[in-house]
Amino acid sequence: MLIIFKKGYTEEQLNHAIDRVRAAKCEPHVIHGVYKVTINVIGDDTQLDPEDFKKLEGVEDVISVSKPFPLVAREFKKEDTIIQVRNVTFGPDNFIVMAGPCAVESEEQTIRIAKAVQKAGANVLRGGAFKPRSSPYAFQGLGNEGLKILATARKETGLPIITEALDIRDLDAICEFTDIIQIGTRNMSNFPLLKEVGRTRTPVMLKRGMSATIDEWLMAAEYILRGGNTNVMLCERGIRSFDSKYTRNIVDLSAIPVIKNLSHLPIVIDPSHGTGRKDAIEPMTLASLAAGAHSVMIDVHDDAENALCDGAQALKPHDFEKIMACLHSLAPALGKTIPGAKPSVRNTV
Give the footprint of Mn ion on this chain (CB under 5 A). 102, 310
| Chain residues 189-248 in contact with ligand PEP, contact rule CB under 6 A | 207, 237
Give CA separation, 287 vs 79, 254, 290, 291, 331, in Å. Answer: 24, 11, 5, 6, 11
Question: Which residue stretch of 4-12, 181-189, 211-219, 257-265 sits at the interface with ligand PEP (rule: CB under 6 A)?
Answer: 181-189
Cβ nearer to Mn ion, comparing 248 with 294: 248
Contact range with ligand PEP by CB under 6 A, out of 32-40, 64-72, 184-192, 331-339? 184-192
Torsion-angle region of residue 65: left (phi > 0), alpha (psi -120 to 50) or beta? beta
181 sits in which H/E element: strand 180-183
| Minimum distance from residue 185 beta carbon to ligand PEP (Å) | 4
Taking the complex as a whole, the smallest distance from the CB of residue 184 to ligand PEP amounts, in Å, to 3
Smallest gap, in angstroms, from Cβ of residue 252 to ligand PEP?
Answer: 13
* Per-residue CA distances from 178 to 90, 126, 228, 241 (Å): 17, 10, 20, 33
Closest Cα to residue 227, out of 4, 31, 5? 31
Measure CA 177 to chain center: 18
Shortest distance in whole angstroms from residue 272 CB to ligand PEP: 8
The smaller minimum CB distance to ligand PEP, of residues 60 and 303, is found at: 303
Residue 128 found at the interface with ligand PEP (CB under 6 A)? yes
Nearer to ligand PEP among residue 164 and residue 196 (C-beta): 164
DSSP output for 95-147: -EEEEE-SB---HHHHHHHHHHHHHHT-SEEE-BSS---SSTTS----THHHH
Size of the site for ligand PEP (CB under 6 A): 11
List the one residue from 68, 132, 257, 283 that touches ligand PEP (CB under 6 A).
132
Does 271 participate in binding ligand PEP (rule CB under 6 A)? no
Return the residue nearest ligand PEP (CB atom). 184
Closer CB to ligand PEP, 70 or 128, in the complex: 128
Stretch that binds ligand PEP, among 34-42, 83-91, 182-190, 240-248 (CB under 6 A): 182-190
> Least distance (Å) from ligand PEP to the CB of residue 328?
24
Task: DSSP for 209-277, please give it.
Answer: PTT--HHHHHHHHHHHHHTT---EEEEE--B--S--SSSSSB--TTHHHHHHHHBSS-EEE-HHHHH--
Establish if 102 lies at the interface with ligand PEP (CB under 6 A): yes
- What's the count of helices (H) and strands (E) in the chain, helices before strands? 11, 14
Instruction: Choose, by CB under 6 A, the member of 101, 184, 276, 317 that binds ligand PEP.
Output: 184
Measured between its terminal Cα atoms, the distance across the chain in Å is 49
- List the interface residues with ligand PEP, window 15-74 (CB under 6 A): none
Let me know: does 315 contact 280? Beta carbons within 8 Å: no
- Which phi and psi (to 5°) does residue 207 adopt? -80, 150
Of 157, 146, 138, nearest in space to 101 by CA:
146
Taking the least distance from each CB to ligand PEP, the nearer of 58 and 128 is: 128
Residue 158 contact among ligand PEP, Mn ion, none, beta carbon within 5 to 8 Å by kind: none
- Binding residues (CB under 6 A) for ligand PEP: these are 102, 128, 132, 164, 184-186, 207, 237, 270, 273
